[in-house]
Structure 1
Amino acid sequence: MSTDLDALEIGRICAEAGRSQRHMRQWTAEYPGLFPARPFDAAFYGTLSMAMAFSGPWFTAEELKITNKAALWGFAADWLADYVHSSPGEVRELVGACLAVADGVPPAAGDDLGRTLAHLRADLAAAPAFPELETVWRDELARMLDTMARESDWKAAGITPSLEEYLDNADNHGFCFVFACHWIATGGPDAARDADRVRQAARAVQRVMRLLNDLSSYERDKSWGDLNALLIGVSREQVLERAAALTREARTLIGELRGGHDRLAVYMERQMDFCAGFYEVGAYWGSL
C-alpha cells in the first residue's frame, strides 16, 4: 500500500471542499424545486465539491464559488432536460428560455433555471476576463443546451447514434461550459489569449469524461431511459479502448498549453484524472 499521499495537504483540500459544500447547499436551498433532495442528495454535494477542490487545490472555496455554481447549474439543466421534461418540445422551450436569459432577457416568473443562470451571469460579468470571454461563455452554453435538445430528439424518435455521432454530441456532458465559467472567474484581463487552443483541449477532455461517466452510469442510464455509449451497441472494451485513445489526445493538447496557461492546463488534466478514479467506484447523482 502506497503511503506517498501528503495527509496534511489532503486535509487542507478537504477542508476547502467542505466549505464549498456549505456554499453550494446554501445557494441551492433557495431553489428546492430545482434541486430536489432526490437525486441531489448529501453525497452529491460532497463528491462534487471534492472534484472541484482536488482539481484546483491552489484555490480557496471562495475562489471556486462561481465554478461550483456553474457545475450545479449544469446538473440542474441536465436533470430537467433528461428526466423532468417529457417531450423534445419542452426541452427546446427550456433551451430558448435559457439562451434569452444569457442575452440579458429577465427570466420568466417561476423559472428557477433562468433565475439561477441570470445570477451566474451576473457573477461572471464582474470578473476582469468576462469582456473578452463573454462570447466563449455564450457559445459554450448554447452548445451544451443544443446537444441536450438533440439527445432528447434522438430518444423521442428512437434514433440510435453511432459512437462518432454520440461523441460529437459530448457537449451535453457540460464540462466545457463549466470550464468556461471557471476560466472567466479565475483568469485575469489577458485570460482570452490562445482561446481557441484552450477550448480545443477542453473539448478533448470533455470527450474523455463523457465516456468515463458512461462506464459508471450504465445501470442508472438504463433505468432513467438516458443515452449511454454502452446502450448504442458499443461494448465496454470498445469504450475503454476509445477512452484511452482520447485521453492520449487530450494529454497532448494539454501539454501544448503548458508554459503559457499552466494553471488551466493542470486544472483540466486533474479534472480528467479525478474523474478516471472517481467513476471507477462512484457517481454524482443520488437515487430517485
Structure 2
Amino acid sequence: MSAGLDALESGRVCAVAGRSQRHMQQWAAAYPSLFSARPFDAALHGTVSMAMAFSGPWFSAEELAATNKACLWAFALDWLVDYVHTSPGQVRELVGACLAVADGAAPALDDDLARMLGDLRADLADAPAFPELRAVWREELARMLGAMAREWEWKAAGARPSLEEYLGNADNHGFCFVFTCHWIATGGPGAARDAGRVLQAGRAVQRVMRLLNDLGSYERDKSWGDVNALLIGVPRETVARRAAALTGEARGLIAGLRGGHERLAVYLERQMDFCAGFYELGEYWGRL
C-alpha cells in the first residue's frame, strides 16, 4: 500500500480546519436564528472547514476566517431562500435587505442574515484589497442573490430549464461570491490586477462545482425538492461528461493565472479537485 498523503502536512491542515470549525460554532451561536435547523450540524461545519483548509494549506485559521464566514453565510442564505421563504415577496425583501447592507446600510437588529453580512463586510473592509475589489464583491453578491431568486422561481413554477440555462444560473451555487471574499481577505495590495481573468477562471470552477454537487447530492435534492441537473431530465452520463469537459476548460483558465496570481490559481484548482473527491462519498448538508 502506498503511503499516499504526507501525514505531517495533513495533520497541520486538519489542525487549521479544527480551529476554523470552532470559529464556525461561535458564529452559529452569534446568529442563532440562521443556524438552528437540523441540517446545520457539526459535520457541515467540519467538512466546510476541511474544504477551505485543504484548498489553501499555507493559510492559518485566522487567514481563512473571512472565507469560512462567507461560506457559512451562503449556506444560511441558501436555506432561507430554498426552504424557509414561501412567497416571492419574502425572497425580494431578503434580496433587497442584503444589497442595502452591501451598500453600507445598517442591518435591522432582528435580521441575523443581514447582521452577519454586515459583519462580514466590516471584516473585509479592513483588508488592503477591499477598496480595489469592493465593486466586484458587490456584483458577485448581487449575482448570487439573483441566481438564487431565479431558482426559487423555477421551483415555484415547476419549470425545467435546459442544461445550458441551468449552467447559466450557476451563481446560485455561491462559489464565486465566497471566492471573491477569499480573494479580498488574502490578496493584499494590487489584488485587483487581472481581475477579469481571475473572475473568468472562478466562474469556470463554479460551473464544475455546480455539476459535481448535483452528481453527489442527487438523492438529497430529490427528497428535498431542490433543482438539480439530473432532476431536469439530463442523464447522469451526460452531466458527468459535461463536468469533465468543464474541468478541462477550468484548468486551462487557471493555468493562465499562474505566475501573476500563483496562490489564487492553486487555491482554485485545489478547491475544484477537493470537491471532485468529496462528492464521490458525501455532501455538506445534514438531515432535515
* TM-score (normalizing by structure 2): 0.99
The residue that corresponds to 2:283 in the other structure is 283
Cα distance, 1:180 vs. partner?
A: 0.2
Helix, strand or coil at the partner of 1:285: coil
Q: Which amino acid aligns with 1:132?
A: E
Write the distance in 2 (CA, Å) between the matches of 1:116 and 1:249.
35
Report the equivalent of 2:212. Answer: 212
Residue by residue, what CA displacement relative to the aligned partner does 1:217-269 show, whole Å, maximum 9, x if unpaired? 11111111110000001000000000000000000000000010000000000
Letter in 1 for 2:66: I
**Quick one: which amino acid aligns to residue 165 of structure 1?**
E
**One-letter code aligned to 1:107:** P
Distance in 2 separating the partners of 1:234 and 1:3: 39
CA distance in 2, matches of 1:94, 1:223: 25
Residue type at the aligned position of 2:190: D
Q: Distance in 2 between matches of 1:182 and 1:5?
A: 25
CA distance in 2 between partners of 1:16 and 1:281 (Å): 22
Distance in 2 (alpha carbons) for counterparts of 1:223 and 1:33:
24
- Residue 178 of structure 1: aligned partner: 178
User: What residue identity is the alignment partner of 1:126?
Assistant: D
The more displaced of 81-90 and 51-60 is 81-90
Taking the aligned partners of 1:4 and 1:71, their CA distance within structure 2 comes to: 29
Matches within 5 A, 1:80-99: 80-99=80-99
AA at the equivalent of 2:149: A
Question: What's 2:21 paired with?
Answer: 21
2:127 matches 1:127: yes
1:222-241 matches, cutoff 5 A = 222-241=222-241
Deviation of 1:32 after TM superposition, in Å, equals: 1.8
TM-score (norm 1): 0.99
- Whether the 8 Å CA contact 1:88–1:156 is kept in 2: the answer is no
Code of the aligned partner of 2:201? A
| 4+ residue segments displaced more than 3 Å | none
Letter in 1 for 2:151: E
Q: Show CA shifts across 1:187-235 (max 9, x none).
A: 1110000000000000000000000000111111111111000000100
Give, as a single letter, the amino acid of the residue that structure 1 aligns with 2:18. G
Matches within 5 A, 1:76-115: 76-115=76-115
Q: CA deviation at 1:37?
A: 4.7
Number of residue pairs the alignment of both structures matches = 288
* Paired residues for 1:48-63 under 5 Å: 48-63=48-63
Cα distance in 2, alignment partners of residues 37 and 83 from structure 1: 11
CA deviation digits over 1:4-58, x for unaligned, max 9? 3110110010001001100111111111210125110011111110000000000
Say which SS state the counterpart of residue 217 (structure 2) adopts: helix
The residue type equivalent to 1:279 in the other structure is Y
Gap runs ≥5 in structure 1: none
Aligned partner of 2:272 in structure 1 is 272
Answer whether contact 1:67 1:185 (CA < 8 A) is retained.
yes
Q: Does the 8 Å CA contact 1:98/1:117 hold for their aligned counterparts?
A: yes
Q: 2:66 aligned with 1:66, yes or no?
A: yes
Distance, in Å, in 1 between the alignment partners of 2:4 and 2:287 is 35
1:97-151 Cα distance to aligned partner (Å, 9 max, x none)? 1001100111123111000000000000000000000000000000000000001
Q: Distance in 2 between matches of 1:121 and 1:167?
A: 28
- Give the whole-Å Cα distance in 2 for the aligned partners of 1:205 and 1:9: 25
Measure the CA separation in 2 of the matches of 1:2 and 1:118: 47
- Within 2, Cα distance between the matches of 1:15 and 1:79? 28
Amino acid at match of 2:114: G
Amino acid at match of 2:270: R
Q: Which moved more, 1:218-227 or 1:126-135?
A: 218-227
1:51 touches 1:271 (CA, 8 Å); kept in 2? yes
Shift of 1:175: 0.3
Letter in 1 for 2:140: E
Residue type at the aligned position of 1:47:
T
